[in-house]
Amino acid sequence: MAKLSFHYAAMNAGKSTALLQASHNYRERGMRTALFTSHHYAENGVGRIASRLGVSADAQVFSPGDDLFGRIRGQHTQAPLACVLVDEAQFLETDQVWQLARVADRLDVPVIAYGLRTDFRGALFPGSAALLGVADELREIRTVCFCGRNAGFVARLGPDGRALTQGAQVAVAKAQYVSLCRRHWDEATGRWPAAE
């Protein structure tokens, strides 16, 4: 039975690298995959999943309101899909998460979604919240804070290099982020004084 899996992490943990490796493994064995990424990562309607290690692949773009089940079912009918891989899954809508669950349940095609769990304010993204509730399998991809602890949080830095605590949830272009452990994120955002 196919599963919907959510692999989450802070930034720079290798989520896109893991996705591209998984797709490569399927394709190397002659199996077909479908790659999706958010419209935030598209240029002229063309999606691209890129790893900081330099590997990349074209991807289909999902936007708010898209019927992912319908799109995937159409592709699966044309030629069987072995796996659906979704990058930037935090930008999925709740309905789209359920559509991906139906891909696993009704089409028997595994779906692996990769994304951030929380935003720079420590709040769950809507897509991530839905995935945490609906996915069959949850997996944290670990990365490290400058102190060596697990970095499960992301801070958005302002022009002065200090962590921001307000602003739009989504700021993809020209925003600088750093992954921190909970303690150092708590201090960086001013929720807890660093001296204590």
Which residues are known to be catalytic? 88
What residues contact residue 128 under an 8 Å CB cut-off, 6+ apart?
A: 6, 8, 89, 90, 115, 116, 117, 118
Q: Which residues pair with 154 in a beta bridge?
A: 179
144 within 8 A of 137, measured Cβ to Cβ: no
Token pair, residue 12, equals 């720079």
2 within 8 A of 104, measured Cβ to Cβ: yes
N residues, the chain: 196
User: Which residue reads 């349940």 in tokens?
Assistant: 105
Measured CA to CA, the distance from residue 2 to residue 54 in angstroms comes to 30
> Quick one: DSSP state of residue 154?
E
Token pair, residue 146, equals 């400058």
Q: Which of 166, 192, 163 is nearest to 177 (CA)?
A: 163
Residue 38 Rama label (left phi>0; alpha psi -120 to 50; beta): beta
